[in-house]
Structure 1
Amino acid sequence: METGNLSGIEVSLMKNAIIDAHIHLDMYEECERNQLLNELDMYKVEKVIAVSTDYQSALTNLEYSKQNKKIKPAAGFHPEQPLPEEAELQKLFSLIERKKNEIVAIGEVGLPYYLRKEQKQLSLNSYIEILEVFVKYAAKTGKPIALHAIYEDAEIVCDLLERYSVSNAHFHWFKGSEKILQRMKENGYFVSFTPDCLYEEEIKRIIKSYPIELMMAETDGPWPFAGPFSGELTHPKMIHSSIKQISRLKNVPMQDVYSRFFKNTSIFYDLQE
C-alpha cells in the first residue's frame, strides 16, 4: 500500500478532523483551489490557516474567508522576496490594524534564508527591521505570529520574540540545530510539520525530539512534495498521512496525535466557535 494514498487503512481515518496550520491558498491555480476547497469536508479538514505573502495576498485571503468559513486568513510579508516599497508596507500594516478582528494571525513573516543563498550580497538588516515591526504588532494585538525562520535565522527571530515578550509563535516547516530547538521548547514555541516528514531524515529527527504538545501539521501548499506524494497536487488531506507517520515516530497512538494536533491548532489560532 502506498503511504501517500488515502486508501485502505487511511480511509478509516477520515472520521478524524484535521486543520492545515499553514497553506498559501491564493497561490493555487483557480481550478486547483476550487477542487481543494470542495474536498475539505470529504477529508475532514475543519479549517485551513491561509497565510499571506504581501498586501494583495492578504486582501485575497480575507476575501476567500468571507466565501468559506473554513478559511482563516493571516496577513504578512513573506521574506523570500525583494523588499516592498515603503508605501506598500504601510498599506499592509494598516490592513492588519483595520482587520485585526478578521485575521487570525500575523504571517507569513520572517527572514530570507534561501534568498540570501542566491544573493550573497543581500543585506539582512532591512528584513530584520520589517520583521521587528511585525513582532511589535503581534505583541500589541495579541495575535499569533506565523514564522519563516530556519537554521541560524531562528536565533535572530527568537531574540526579537523574547524582546517583545511574544510567546504565541509558530515556526512553520522548521529546520535547525538541537540548540535552537531547545530554546524554542523552553519558550513554548510551536513547530508544524509538512508531508516531507514521510521521507526527510532531518524532519524525522526534529519530530522525535520536539514535544507533541507544541506540534501542528501543515502542507505549505501549493509547494509540491516528493516520495509518495510525487506528482500530486498538495492538498490538506496529506496531513492524514503525516499524522500516521508522526504517530510512528513518537510512538504515540494515532488517535492521540489527531486529538492533540487538533487541540493545539485550535487553541493557538483561537479557532473555537
Structure 2
Amino acid sequence: MKPVYAPLIDSHIHLDQYQDQVIEQMMQSLPEYQIKSLITVSMNLSSCQRNEKLFQQYPSVVRPAYGYHPEQPLPDSQELETLLLWIEQRIDQIVAIGEIGLPYYLRQEAIARGEKLDEQGYIEVLSALLQLAAFYHKPVILHAVYEDAEIACDLLEKYGVTQAHFHWFKGYPATIQRMIEHGYHISFTPDIEYEAEIQQLATLYPRHLVMAETDGPWEFEGTFAGQMTHPRMTANVAQTWAKIQQLSEQEARHLLYQNTVSFYT
C-alpha cells in the first residue's frame, strides 16, 4: 500500500510556460503526488494573461501571482502603467505580486559584454510594483540574489512591505541575517540535492520561514538531468531538507506545507 504523505505546494512555478497538453497531464497527476496547489508566477502582461486563463481553468489548484520579471528588457512607461492597472483590476484574484525583483544575471551578461545596464530603471519598476503590493496588502515574490537582495530589502522597508518571499535565494551572511530578522521567507528548489551553497543556506534559515518550489520549467541537474520539471519534485526538496534539518520526511512536508499556506493566505 502506497504511504500517505502530508500534501505539498509548489510555491513558485511558471505554469504559463508549459504547453497546454503538458499542463493538462500535470494537473491530472497532482493528486497522485499529493500536490495541493501551485503558486503560478508571471513574467509580464502576456504571461499574466495566460496565468489568469489557467486560474480560470483550474481554480482549485492554480494560485496566480502577477508581476514583471526583471531578467528581461525594461518596459516603457506606458507598458508599466498598463500592467499596473491590469493587476489592480484583478487584485482580488491573486495571492501575491510576482515575480518581481532585480536583474542580477542580466547585469552579469551586460558586464561580460562590456556594457552597462540601466539599474535605476529596474529599481523604479520594482518600486512601482512594491507600492502596489503595499497599497493592497499583498505579499511579494522576489527574484533578488546577492547584492540585489540588499537593495530589495531596502525597498521592502521603504514601502512597508512585510510579506516577502525570496525564491531560489542566494546571498551573503549579513543579508541572510537581515532577512531572517524581518521574517522574510525563502524557498528551495530541487538543486538543494547537489548545490553546497544551497545546502549551507538550508542549515541556517529558520524552519518556519522555508518553502519548497520547482521554478519549472527550469531544468535541474544531478538525479533530475533530462527530466521535465514537475511539481512532484517538491517531494525531493522535502526529503533533502528533512535530512539537513534532521526531521522525518513527514515532519518536513508538514512544515513546508503549513509555511506556504500561512504565507499565502
* Same fold by TM-score greater than 0.5: yes
Please tell me the TM-score bracket, short chain as reference: over 0.9
Q: For residue 191 of structure 1, give the secondary structure of its aligned residue in structure 2.
A: strand
Asked whether the equivalents of residues 62 and 103 of structure 1 are also in contact (C-alpha less than 8 Å), the reply is: no
- TM-score by length of structure 1 reads 0.93
The residue number in structure 2 matching 1:64 is 54
What is the distance in 2 between the residues matched to 1:84 and 1:167?
26
Q: For residue 41 of structure 1, give the secondary structure of its aligned residue in structure 2.
A: helix
Alignment of 1:72-87 (within 5 A): 72-87=63-78
Point out the structure with the larger helix share.
Answer: 2
The match for 1:95 among 81, 86, 103 is: 86
- TM-score by length of structure 2 reads 0.95
The match for 1:262 among 253, 257, 260 is: 257
Asked whether the equivalents of residues 19 and 47 of structure 1 are also in contact (C-alpha less than 8 Å), the reply is: yes
Q: For residue 48 of structure 1, give the secondary structure of its aligned residue in structure 2.
A: strand
What is the distance in 1 between the residues matched to 2:86 and 2:34?
31
The residue number in structure 2 matching 1:27 is 17
Report the alpha carbon displacement of residue 55 of structure 1 after superposing the two structures with TM. Answer: 0.7
Asked whether the equivalents of residues 19 and 48 of structure 1 are also in contact (C-alpha less than 8 Å), the reply is: yes
Please list every run of 5 or more consecutive structure 2 residues that lacks an aligned counterpart in the other structure.
Answer: none
Q: CA RMSD in A?
A: 1.2
Report the alpha carbon displacement of residue 246 of structure 1 after superposing the two structures with TM. Answer: 0.2
Letter aligned with residue 137 of structure 2: G
What is the distance in 2 between the residues matched to 1:268 and 1:95?
24
The residue number in structure 1 matching 2:103 is 112
What is the distance in 2 between the residues matched to 1:54 and 1:16?
33
Report the alpha carbon displacement of residue 95 of structure 1 after superposing the two structures with TM. Answer: 1.4
Letter aligned with residue 27 of structure 1: Q
Report the alpha carbon displacement of residue 165 of structure 1 after superposing the two structures with TM. Answer: 1.7
Identity score, percent: 45
Are residues 1:41 and 2:31 paired? yes
Q: Say how many residue pairs are matched.
A: 260
Please list every run of 5 or more consecutive structure 1 residues that lacks an aligned counterpart in the other structure.
Answer: 1-7
Report the alpha carbon displacement of residue 29 of structure 1 after superposing the two structures with TM. Answer: 2.3
What is the distance in 2 between the residues matched to 1:144 and 1:260?
19
Asked whether the equivalents of residues 51 and 64 of structure 2 are also in contact (C-alpha less than 8 Å), the reply is: yes
Are residues 1:129 and 2:124 paired? yes
Letter aligned with residue 52 of structure 2: L
Report the alpha carbon displacement of residue 24 of structure 1 after superposing the two structures with TM. Answer: 0.1
What is the distance in 1 between the residues matched to 2:82 and 2:213?
28
Alignment of 1:1-273 (within 5 A): 12=3, 15-68=5-58, 69-120=60-111, 121-270=116-265
The residue number in structure 2 matching 1:3 is none
What is the distance in 1 between the residues matched to 2:82 and 2:95?
18
